[in-house]
Amino acid sequence: MLKQVFLAAIAALFISFGAFAADKINLNTASAEQLQVLSGVGPATAAAIIEHRESHGQFKSVDELKDVKGIGDKKLQNLSEKVTVTAE
């Protein structure tokens, strides 16, 4: 019985994580903590994204991430399917 409850709890975690992972993160509204959920984005990159957003205004396209210090073509390619840009 305990084993079944444990397996059900593990399955629920995987299902809920999958639903969360399917949601794209909005570059114009995300906090540093939300950005750090993305693979390859640590505290420094998250801070750079937010600093760019605050000093240049909202992102108009995901490709504008290339203008952020520390984000090149490879990182942009990895992030492009996981982020979105919509008005605040």
Structure tokens at 5: 């409850």
In total, how many domains does the chain have? 1
Residue 9 forms part of a structural domain: no
In a domain, 55, yes or no: yes
Domain of 68? 24-84
> What's residue 86's pLDDT?
87
Instruction: Identify the CATH number of the domain in which residue 68 sits.
Output: 1.10.150.320
Say whether pLDDT at 19 is over 50.
no
The predicted model scores a pTM of 0.73
**pLDDT-derived band of residue 16, with 50, 70 and 90 as boundaries?**
very low
Over the Cα atoms of the chain, what is R_g? 16
